[in-house]
Structure 1
Amino acid sequence: MEEKAGRRVVLVPVPAQGHINPMMQLGIALHLKGFSITVALTELNHLTSPWEDFPDFQFVTIMGGLSESEFKKLGPVEFLIKLNDMCESSFKDCLGQLLQQKQGNDIACVIYDEYMHFAEAAAKDFNFPSVIFSTTNATAFVCRFLLGRFKENWFLALLKGTSGFSVSDLHKSLNSCRAVSMVLFFIEPGEQDKLVPEFHPLRYKDLPTSAFAPLESSLKLYTNVVNKGTASAVIINTASCLESSSLSRLEQDLQAPVYPIGPLHKAASASCSLLEEDRSCIEWLNKQKPSSVIYISLGSLALMEHKEVVEMAWGLANSNQPFLWVIRPGSIPGSEWTESLPEEFGRIVSERGHIVKWAPQKEVLSHSAVGCFWSHCGWNSTLESIGEGVPLICRPFSGDQRVNARYLDRIWRVGIQLEGELERGDVEKALRRLMADEEGVVMKKRALCLKEGVEASVRHGGSSHNSLNEFVDFIKGL
């Protein structure tokens, strides 16, 4: 433990697996710097996670939040919009109670997930400094920043074809706006595969729009997310060796200090899975040959259509590689769990496959038997795979996952992206390219180089290590 800073930091995470983990890792990293940590949880998850694993942290509950059933009914985007509308007053009550307990007088700052922007207004009322924490990467943040700058009515008019402008008119009249080219994705179907100017290698279809909500809702959410208000700085769970140009651009766009301090899972170990992990998969992996197993997990929110699951299954079967497949209950609409799989597939699973409902992913990816990760390319999964030098099969579902997949394929070149409708032949071909061909050997070497780079960034003297120290000095001076 380093010298005590004698100050408290209040953390406000999004109530979802992919956001809570990095927030808790951030809490550990700051606690190791001497800060006291208070975590403000919504009612959705204040009782459902192993918070007893964090005995040195204080936990408070933001009352009046939404239930799990409302989350399922609304979907992630509408849920976050409504949650922000409802929680500001209750969070103010939390901060007031901390003051009454004499624990508010030493609050250094409130650090809130970028999607919990109500916390900024509440902190402002108490004159507490606030800091934004982005659990996605810097490139996706830049894209959201530009999308969030659209005037919604004007943008929707373009979508409906009532603006009176042609595409060429837009370029001529609004050439000074970097974001204007993005509208092409929505108003000209033929533009989806074209590169976005100034965003190489992103195409219009790679931009972080949501599969869970109408575009109007995504724009509304992004408008609030990128409005930093009185926030003093932004911290991001990324490393400069991965996306230095996007970090520089973001700092310029936000006109605020930006601190890349990741990958946090390499700097601060924390386990707070919202789902029960099946550790039988580790015993199964122990029996497999080195670098032979295809690990498949599409995250905590992504959904799979029945036909896609069948094609995945036969592609895996025909690849002749052992596989560990995480199929989350409810992730296949119309199925409770694995009943959508072909009956014949059960025989193949018994011979060289293993299916679980949820897995201890970081432990799985660090296992010597794992040679490939078929992923939805959420940012946590992307960092965890890069951090272990494991190449990926990329099948993004929504939002920033598309950005991550494109970078894995075209910038870092440690992934193969599967696009369009899945067919078993394409699945088998991609798996063989990565697991059996020379291309896979070269990709593995690149993945190991990336691993060395991100590990160096969090070690003493590394870029993320130094950035964290700079951030600590920054909030001490607020």
Structure 2
Amino acid sequence: MEGVERKGRRLLLIPLPLQGHINPMLHLAQILYSNAFSITILHTTFNSPDPSNYPHFNFSCIQEPSSLCLSQSSASHLLNFLLALNAQCVTPFQECVTKLLSEEPQPVACLISDALCYFTQGVADKLRLPRIVLRTGGVSSFVAFAAFPFLRLKGYIPIQDCKLEEAVTEVPPLRVKDLPTVKTEEPEKYYELLHRFVNETKNSLGVIWNSFQELESSALTKLSQEFSFSMPMFPIGPFHKYFPTSSSSSCSSLISQDQSCISWLDKHSPNSVLYVSFGSVAAITETDFLEIAWGLANSNHPFLWVVRPGLIMGSKWLEPLPSGLMENLEGRGLIVKWAPQLEVLAHSAVGAFWTHNGWNSTLESICEGVPMICMPCFTDQKVNARYVSHVWRIGLQLENGVERGEIERAIRRLMDVNAEGKEIRDRALKLKEEVKLCLKTGGSSCSSLEALVTYILSLESSTFQAS
């Protein structure tokens, strides 16, 4: 930001090296840079951001072991990746930060770490460096994560198929099927990950949320009152709405975006297109892929479908797609490998979003007033889907698996001209207005950001002396 006088303080930020975590961390970095902090991004060699997209930031690479990678898109592989990251990055991270602190002429105010990089708390303590956490997911899902020890004690977890529809009365409005679990043959590893993730968040000096007060006020209250989170909490989101859509859409994408879909959308009437995307990590079976394809085709509504290479288990890309299916639609459907999602959701032609309910996608849809069809895959996505469909009531959830008939019915319920679809759309548009208000001067997120800047400036790290 040219012409802004720096506050004489540098911030160190470390994102989790996955697309859905890199984006909000870099958005946060831009927000704080706009508030006159100097920024250094610490990153792994795996999924490293492109420094040329951010010439106003400094970048420093953590030389983690070359074995660190996420080779397959599945909950089990994701779990092992997170455990490996937190085990293997301790020493290289400490060496990197030690070097930066000894060479940096500006005082370092604090470290801002992705909450899932919980290994950073021990290093920060050792180096007497204040650590604030960024939680890239919603507050409501974090409440469920924090409740895991209690939920296990009460017998909700491990989940039993016969209790899927049972209400979890201690964490409303969740049912057993909505709890943020993963399918793994080593559940104790997952429980340990959650324990460390929650506890080291609690041990930090504050939590930044990519959310806003009006959306998740009850969850924020629950964390402070029932789970004794006494540190300051700063719901300053939605991060990406601090900037024009065009400037926040593509710079941090690890996958090349197909811009041609925007000109395709330009040819369609308002609210007529269903946008379908299941994010950067989720994977589906070939059977589910075929049911989705036929459900979309049979709905008779135009659709833009993101099929990421690797989305379909056992396939490189569209090999399982029935021959002639797309051709027979006569241009009513478009499949791309990756889309500029912020631009797509902001496009007037998009009338609904079929999503896996990752937090970024959920929040981006809320910001544009776009109703959702929810198909969560694992962890916090299940909680987000429940809130979308039964708390905020701005979408419908596919409750009975992936079946072409149910898919077609859900699309028609949301996209056809009917009372139910109109009510859902009206609620979504009202929530979009809440987003606009929270970011204005005096709004909840604007005020929370001002409090965060003041808080960071108040932090006094001990004088660092290199060993």
Is TM more than 0.5 here? yes
Distance (Å, rounded) in 1 between the aligned partners of 2:266 and 2:363: 24
Distance (Å, rounded) in 1 between the aligned partners of 2:384 and 2:107: 38
Q: Which residue of 1 aligns with 2:54?
A: 54
Q: Which residue of 2 aligns with 1:126?
A: 127
Q: Which residue of 2 aligns with 1:236?
A: 209
Q: Secondary structure at the match of 1:227?
A: helix
**CA shift in 2, pair 1:219/1:370, >3 Å:** same
**CA shift in 2, pair 1:325/1:12, >3 Å:** same
Distance (Å, rounded) in 1 between the aligned partners of 2:350 and 2:183: 30
Distance (Å, rounded) in 1 between the aligned partners of 2:213 and 2:70: 38
Q: Which residue of 2 aligns with 1:223?
A: 195
Query: Could you tell me which of 97, 100, 105 is aligned with 2:99?
Result: 97
How many residue pairs match? The answer is: 446
Q: Deviations over 1:53-81 (max 9, x none)?
A: 21110111111245565543971111111
Amino acid at match of 2:265: L
Q: Which residue of 2 aligns with 1:267?
A: 242
- Checking the alignment, whether the CA contact within 8 Å between 2:307 and 2:317 is kept in structure 1 is yes
- Offset of residue 315 of structure 1: 1.1
Scaled by the length of structure 1, the TM-score of the pair is 0.90
1:201 equivalent to 2:173? Answer yes
Q: Secondary structure at the match of 1:75?
A: helix
- Checking the alignment, whether the CA contact within 8 Å between 1:10 and 1:111 is kept in structure 2 is yes
Gaps of 5+ in 1: 151-176
Query: Could you tell me which of 432, 435, 456 is aligned with 1:454?
Result: 435
Q: Secondary structure at the match of 2:158?
A: helix
- Offset of residue 139 of structure 1: 1.0
Amino acid at match of 2:218: S
- Checking the alignment, whether the CA contact within 8 Å between 1:185 and 1:192 is kept in structure 2 is no
Distance (Å, rounded) in 1 between the aligned partners of 2:16 and 2:70: 15
Amino acid at match of 1:144: F
Amino acid at match of 1:453: E
Q: Which residue of 2 aligns with 1:157?
A: none
**CA shift in 2, pair 1:30/1:86, >3 Å:** same
Q: Which residue of 2 aligns with 1:163?
A: none
Q: Deviations over 1:194-234 (max 9, x none)?
A: 11113221111111112466322211110110113641111
Distance (Å, rounded) in 1 between the aligned partners of 2:157 and 2:329: 41
Which deviates further from its counterpart, 256-265 or 381-390? 256-265
Distance (Å, rounded) in 2 between the aligned partners of 1:454 and 1:34: 24
- Checking the alignment, whether the CA contact within 8 Å between 2:114 and 2:133 is kept in structure 1 is yes
1:317 equivalent to 2:297? Answer yes
CA RMSD across the alignment: 1.8
- Offset of residue 179 of structure 1: 6.3
Q: Secondary structure at the match of 2:56?
A: coil
Amino acid at match of 1:469: E
Q: Which residue of 2 aligns with 1:288?
A: 268
Q: Deviations over 1:62-116 (max 9, x none)?
A: 112455655439711111111111111111111121123234x511100100110
- Offset of residue 461 of structure 1: 1.1
Distance (Å, rounded) in 2 between the aligned partners of 1:452 and 1:138: 20
Q: Secondary structure at the match of 1:351?
A: coil
- Offset of residue 318 of structure 1: 1.1
The 5-angstrom pairing of residues 14-25 of structure 1 reads: 14-25=16-27
Distance (Å, rounded) in 2 between the aligned partners of 1:70 and 1:326: 21
Query: Could you tell me which of 364, 370, 376 is aligned with 2:344?
Result: 364
Distance (Å, rounded) in 2 between the aligned partners of 1:14 and 1:116: 6
Q: Which residue of 2 aligns with 1:72?
A: 72
The 5-angstrom pairing of residues 410-421 of structure 1 reads: 410-421=390-401
- Checking the alignment, whether the CA contact within 8 Å between 1:71 and 1:79 is kept in structure 2 is no
Gaps of 5+ in 2: 460-467
Scaled by the length of structure 2, the TM-score of the pair is 0.92
Distance (Å, rounded) in 1 between the aligned partners of 2:157 and 2:263: 47
Query: Could you tell me which of 207, 211, 221 is aligned with 1:248?
Result: 221
**CA shift in 2, pair 1:187/1:391, >3 Å:** closer
Distance (Å, rounded) in 2 between the aligned partners of 1:127 and 1:32: 27
**CA shift in 2, pair 1:65/1:458, >3 Å:** farther
Which deviates further from its counterpart, 344-353 or 199-208? 344-353
- Offset of residue 250 of structure 1: 1.5
Q: Which residue of 2 aligns with 1:116?
A: 117
- Checking the alignment, whether the CA contact within 8 Å between 1:117 and 1:224 is kept in structure 2 is yes
1:106 equivalent to 2:110? Answer no
- Offset of residue 178 of structure 1: 6.9
Question: How high is the sequence identity, in percent, across the aligned residues?
Answer: 44
**CA shift in 2, pair 1:220/1:236, >3 Å:** same
Amino acid at match of 2:60: V
Query: Could you tell me which of 281, 302, 307 is aligned with 2:282?
Result: 302
Distance (Å, rounded) in 1 between the aligned partners of 2:194 and 2:138: 15
Amino acid at match of 2:207: V
- Offset of residue 351 of structure 1: 2.5
- Offset of residue 180 of structure 1: 3.4
Distance (Å, rounded) in 2 between the aligned partners of 1:382 and 1:70: 24
Q: Deviations over 1:396-417 (max 9, x none)?
A: 0011000000000000101100
